[in-house]
Protein backbone atom coordinates (compact mmCIF):
# COMPACT_ATOMS: atom_id res chain seq x y z
CA UNK A 1 0.00 0.00 0.00
CA UNK A 2 2.81 2.37 0.93
CA UNK A 3 4.53 1.67 -2.39
CA UNK A 4 1.35 2.50 -4.30
CA UNK A 5 0.92 5.81 -2.44
CA UNK A 6 4.55 6.77 -3.04
CA UNK A 7 4.18 5.87 -6.70
CA UNK A 8 1.03 8.02 -7.04
CA UNK A 9 2.75 10.97 -5.35
CA UNK A 10 5.71 10.59 -7.72
CA UNK A 11 3.38 10.51 -10.74
CA UNK A 12 1.61 13.65 -9.53
CA UNK A 13 4.89 15.49 -8.99
CA UNK A 14 6.14 14.56 -12.45
CA UNK A 15 2.79 15.58 -13.94
CA UNK A 16 2.91 19.00 -12.24
CA UNK A 17 6.50 19.52 -13.39
CA UNK A 18 5.68 18.60 -16.99
CA UNK A 19 2.66 20.90 -16.94
CA UNK A 20 4.79 23.80 -15.69
CA UNK A 21 7.38 23.13 -18.37
CA UNK A 22 4.69 23.01 -21.05
CA UNK A 23 3.28 26.33 -19.81
CA UNK A 24 6.74 27.95 -19.93
CA UNK A 25 7.42 26.48 -23.36
CA UNK A 26 4.04 27.67 -24.59
CA UNK A 27 4.74 31.24 -23.44
CA UNK A 28 8.23 31.18 -24.93
CA UNK A 29 6.88 29.78 -28.16
CA UNK A 30 4.22 32.47 -28.37
CA UNK A 31 6.81 35.20 -27.86
CA UNK A 32 9.11 33.67 -30.48
CA UNK A 33 6.26 33.44 -32.97
CA UNK A 34 5.24 37.00 -32.15
CA UNK A 35 8.77 38.33 -32.71
CA UNK A 36 9.10 36.51 -36.05
CA UNK A 37 6.51 38.95 -37.36
CA UNK A 38 9.26 41.60 -37.42
CA UNK A 39 11.81 39.51 -39.36
CA UNK A 40 12.90 41.22 -42.56
CA UNK A 41 11.48 44.62 -41.60
CA UNK A 42 13.61 47.75 -41.81
CA UNK A 43 15.46 48.70 -38.63
CA UNK A 44 14.29 51.93 -36.99
CA UNK A 45 17.31 54.14 -36.26
CA UNK A 46 16.98 56.34 -33.17
CA UNK A 47 19.57 59.03 -32.42
CA UNK A 48 19.62 60.70 -29.00
CA UNK A 49 21.68 63.83 -28.41
CA UNK A 50 23.80 63.95 -25.24
CA UNK A 51 25.18 67.23 -23.92
CA UNK A 52 26.40 68.49 -20.55
CA UNK A 53 23.67 69.78 -18.27
CA UNK A 54 20.79 67.94 -19.96
CA UNK A 55 17.96 66.62 -17.79
CA UNK A 56 18.54 62.93 -17.05
CA UNK A 57 14.89 61.90 -17.47
CA UNK A 58 14.64 63.73 -20.80
CA UNK A 59 17.57 61.63 -21.99
CA UNK A 60 16.78 58.26 -20.42
CA UNK A 61 12.98 58.17 -20.76
CA UNK A 62 12.77 57.76 -24.56
CA UNK A 63 15.81 55.46 -24.56
CA UNK A 64 14.07 53.08 -22.14
CA UNK A 65 10.98 52.98 -24.37
CA UNK A 66 13.02 52.19 -27.49
CA UNK A 67 15.13 49.66 -25.57
CA UNK A 68 11.92 47.80 -24.67
CA UNK A 69 10.75 48.10 -28.29
CA UNK A 70 14.05 46.63 -29.48
CA UNK A 71 13.57 43.61 -27.23
CA UNK A 72 9.96 43.04 -28.29
CA UNK A 73 10.55 43.39 -32.03
CA UNK A 74 13.54 41.09 -32.53
CA UNK A 75 16.09 43.95 -32.60
CA UNK A 76 13.96 46.13 -34.87
CA UNK A 77 15.52 49.28 -33.31
CA UNK A 78 19.05 50.70 -33.16
CA UNK A 79 19.81 53.46 -30.65
CA UNK A 80 22.76 55.85 -31.07
CA UNK A 81 24.09 58.29 -28.45
CA UNK A 82 25.39 61.40 -30.21
CA UNK A 83 27.32 64.29 -28.67
CA UNK A 84 28.22 67.76 -29.88
CA UNK A 85 31.66 66.18 -29.89
CA UNK A 86 32.82 62.84 -28.43
CA UNK A 87 33.86 64.22 -25.03
CA UNK A 88 32.24 62.63 -21.94
CA UNK A 89 29.21 64.58 -20.74
CA UNK A 90 27.47 64.90 -17.38
CA UNK A 91 23.74 65.28 -16.88
CA UNK A 92 22.17 68.03 -14.77
CA UNK A 93 23.80 68.32 -11.32
CA UNK A 94 26.55 65.90 -12.46
CA UNK A 95 24.47 62.85 -11.55
CA UNK A 96 25.39 60.62 -14.53
CA UNK A 97 28.34 60.75 -16.92
CA UNK A 98 28.13 59.14 -20.35
CA UNK A 99 30.34 58.81 -23.42
CA UNK A 100 28.74 59.61 -26.80
CA UNK A 101 29.28 57.03 -29.53
CA UNK A 102 29.27 59.66 -32.29
CA UNK A 103 29.43 63.44 -32.72
CA UNK A 104 27.17 65.75 -34.71
CA UNK A 105 29.59 65.92 -37.63
CA UNK A 106 29.86 62.16 -38.03
CA UNK A 107 26.51 60.92 -36.76
CA UNK A 108 24.93 57.95 -38.54
CA UNK A 109 21.70 58.19 -40.50
CA UNK A 110 18.72 58.35 -38.14
CA UNK A 111 14.98 58.03 -38.67
CA UNK A 112 14.32 60.01 -35.47
CA UNK A 113 16.75 62.32 -33.68
CA UNK A 114 15.82 63.15 -30.08
CA UNK A 115 17.05 66.29 -28.31
CA UNK A 116 16.65 66.28 -24.51
CA UNK A 117 15.90 69.48 -22.62
CA UNK A 118 17.88 71.19 -19.87
CA UNK A 119 17.58 74.01 -17.31
CA UNK A 120 17.05 77.34 -19.05
CA UNK A 121 20.58 78.58 -18.30
CA UNK A 122 21.98 75.63 -20.28
CA UNK A 123 19.42 76.04 -23.05
CA UNK A 124 20.18 79.77 -23.43
CA UNK A 125 23.89 78.96 -23.63
CA UNK A 126 23.29 76.42 -26.40
CA UNK A 127 21.09 78.87 -28.29
CA UNK A 128 24.22 81.02 -28.64
CA UNK A 129 26.53 78.07 -29.41
CA UNK A 130 27.50 78.46 -33.09
CA UNK A 131 28.59 74.85 -33.69
CA UNK A 132 25.46 73.56 -32.02
CA UNK A 133 23.14 75.78 -34.04
CA UNK A 134 24.99 75.00 -37.28
CA UNK A 135 24.12 71.35 -36.70
CA UNK A 136 20.45 72.18 -37.26
CA UNK A 137 21.28 74.02 -40.45
CA UNK A 138 23.06 70.87 -41.66
CA UNK A 139 20.09 68.75 -40.60
CA UNK A 140 17.75 70.74 -42.84
CA UNK A 141 19.90 69.69 -45.81
CA UNK A 142 20.22 66.02 -44.82
CA UNK A 143 17.85 63.46 -46.27
CA UNK A 144 19.00 60.68 -43.95
CA UNK A 145 17.53 62.15 -40.74
CA UNK A 146 13.85 62.40 -41.46
CA UNK A 147 12.38 63.56 -38.13
CA UNK A 148 13.45 65.65 -35.15
CA UNK A 149 11.95 65.17 -31.69
CA UNK A 150 12.50 67.63 -28.85
CA UNK A 151 11.88 66.95 -25.18
CA UNK A 152 10.85 69.72 -22.79
CA UNK A 153 12.90 72.94 -23.19
CA UNK A 154 14.81 71.56 -26.19
CA UNK A 155 12.07 73.10 -28.33
CA UNK A 156 13.90 76.43 -27.82
CA UNK A 157 16.90 74.99 -29.66
CA UNK A 158 14.78 74.17 -32.70
CA UNK A 159 12.79 77.41 -32.63
CA UNK A 160 15.96 79.49 -32.41
CA UNK A 161 17.02 78.26 -35.85
CA UNK A 162 13.56 78.81 -37.31
CA UNK A 163 12.81 75.09 -37.61
CA UNK A 164 9.45 75.54 -35.87
CA UNK A 165 8.28 78.59 -37.82
CA UNK A 166 4.76 77.97 -39.08
CA UNK A 167 4.55 74.68 -37.19
CA UNK A 168 2.59 73.41 -34.19
CA UNK A 169 4.75 72.90 -31.10
CA UNK A 170 4.86 72.76 -27.30
CA UNK A 171 7.36 72.94 -24.44
CA UNK A 172 7.53 72.75 -20.62
CA UNK A 173 4.50 74.43 -19.02
CA UNK A 174 6.60 76.70 -16.77
CA UNK A 175 8.32 78.46 -19.69
CA UNK A 176 5.35 78.35 -22.08
CA UNK A 177 4.63 82.10 -22.06
CA UNK A 178 8.30 82.97 -22.53
CA UNK A 179 8.57 80.56 -25.47
CA UNK A 180 5.43 81.92 -27.14
CA UNK A 181 6.72 85.48 -26.70
CA UNK A 182 10.17 84.72 -28.14
CA UNK A 183 8.88 82.73 -31.11
CA UNK A 184 5.59 84.24 -32.34
CA UNK A 185 5.84 82.42 -35.68
CA UNK A 186 5.30 79.09 -33.87
CA UNK A 187 1.73 77.87 -33.34
CA UNK A 188 1.98 77.07 -29.64
CA UNK A 189 -0.12 74.42 -27.86
CA UNK A 190 -0.85 74.11 -24.14
CA UNK A 191 -2.39 71.21 -22.19
CA UNK A 192 -0.71 68.56 -24.34
CA UNK A 193 2.02 65.99 -23.71
CA UNK A 194 3.37 66.18 -27.24
CA UNK A 195 2.67 67.60 -30.70
CA UNK A 196 3.28 65.88 -34.04
CA UNK A 197 3.99 68.48 -36.73
CA UNK A 198 5.16 66.06 -39.39
CA UNK A 199 8.94 66.06 -39.65
CA UNK A 200 9.31 67.70 -36.20
CA UNK A 201 7.75 66.48 -32.98
CA UNK A 202 7.88 68.37 -29.69
CA UNK A 203 6.92 67.33 -26.17
CA UNK A 204 6.15 69.23 -22.99
CA UNK A 205 7.80 68.63 -19.62
CA UNK A 206 10.31 65.89 -18.78
CA UNK A 207 8.26 62.64 -18.55
CA UNK A 208 6.33 63.60 -21.68
CA UNK A 209 9.34 62.28 -23.59
CA UNK A 210 8.09 58.81 -22.63
CA UNK A 211 4.69 59.59 -24.16
CA UNK A 212 6.33 60.87 -27.34
CA UNK A 213 8.50 57.75 -27.67
CA UNK A 214 5.48 55.49 -27.05
CA UNK A 215 3.54 57.44 -29.68
CA UNK A 216 6.32 56.81 -32.23
CA UNK A 217 6.46 53.10 -31.37
CA UNK A 218 2.68 52.94 -31.79
CA UNK A 219 2.91 54.53 -35.24
CA UNK A 220 5.63 52.12 -36.32
CA UNK A 221 4.63 48.86 -34.63
CA UNK A 222 1.01 49.34 -33.60
CA UNK A 223 -0.94 49.69 -30.37
CA UNK A 224 -0.19 46.13 -29.20
CA UNK A 225 3.56 46.77 -28.86
CA UNK A 226 2.88 50.26 -27.51
CA UNK A 227 0.61 48.80 -24.84
CA UNK A 228 3.09 46.07 -23.89
CA UNK A 229 5.81 48.66 -23.31
CA UNK A 230 3.48 50.98 -21.42
CA UNK A 231 2.50 48.15 -19.07
CA UNK A 232 6.12 47.03 -18.66
CA UNK A 233 7.00 50.57 -17.57
CA UNK A 234 3.82 50.80 -15.44
CA UNK A 235 3.20 54.05 -17.28
CA UNK A 236 -0.12 55.58 -18.33
CA UNK A 237 0.44 56.73 -21.92
CA UNK A 238 -1.55 59.83 -22.88
CA UNK A 239 -1.36 62.76 -25.29
CA UNK A 240 -3.57 65.36 -23.59
CA UNK A 241 -3.72 66.65 -20.03
CA UNK A 242 -4.48 69.89 -18.23
CA UNK A 243 -1.14 71.44 -17.37
CA UNK A 244 -0.26 72.13 -13.72
CA UNK A 245 -0.22 75.66 -12.38
CA UNK A 246 2.80 77.09 -10.60
CA UNK A 247 2.10 78.03 -6.96
CA UNK A 248 1.56 81.66 -5.92
CA UNK A 249 1.50 82.89 -9.51
CA UNK A 250 5.16 82.02 -10.14
CA UNK A 251 6.35 82.12 -13.73
CA UNK A 252 9.62 82.09 -15.62
CA UNK A 253 11.33 85.49 -15.86
CA UNK A 254 14.41 86.45 -17.83
This prediction's pTM = 0.85
| pLDDT per residue as tens digits for the range 6-21 | 544 444 444 555 555 5
Measured between alpha carbons, how far apart are the two ends of the chain, in Å? 89
Structure-model confidence comparison of residues 229 and 163, the more confident one: 229
Angle between helices 56-72 and 223-232 (to 10 degrees): 120
Q: Identify the pLDDT of residue 105.
A: 83
Q: Quick one: DSSP state of residue 105?
A: T
Task: Look at residue 52 and tell me whether its pLDDT is greater than 70.
Answer: yes
| pLDDT per residue as tens digits for the range 83-136 | 988 999 999 999 999 999 998 888 899 999 999 999 999 999 999 888 777 766
As a whole number of angstroms, the distance between CA 114 and CA 213 comes to: 9
Among 100, 76, 71, smallest CA distance to 88 is for 100
Q: Which CATH number fits domain 42-249: 3.40.190.10, 3.40.50.10470, 3.40.50.880, 2.60.120.10?
A: 3.40.50.880
| pLDDT per residue as tens digits for the range 176-191 | 999 999 999 999 999 9
Amino acid sequence: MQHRICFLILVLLVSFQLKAQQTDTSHTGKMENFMRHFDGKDTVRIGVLAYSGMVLQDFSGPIEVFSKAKGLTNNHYNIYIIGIDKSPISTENHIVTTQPQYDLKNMPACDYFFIPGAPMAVVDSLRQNTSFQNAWARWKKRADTSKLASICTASYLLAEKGLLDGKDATTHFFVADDFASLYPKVTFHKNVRFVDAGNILTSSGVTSGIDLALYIVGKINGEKIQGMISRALQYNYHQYEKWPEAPMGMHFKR
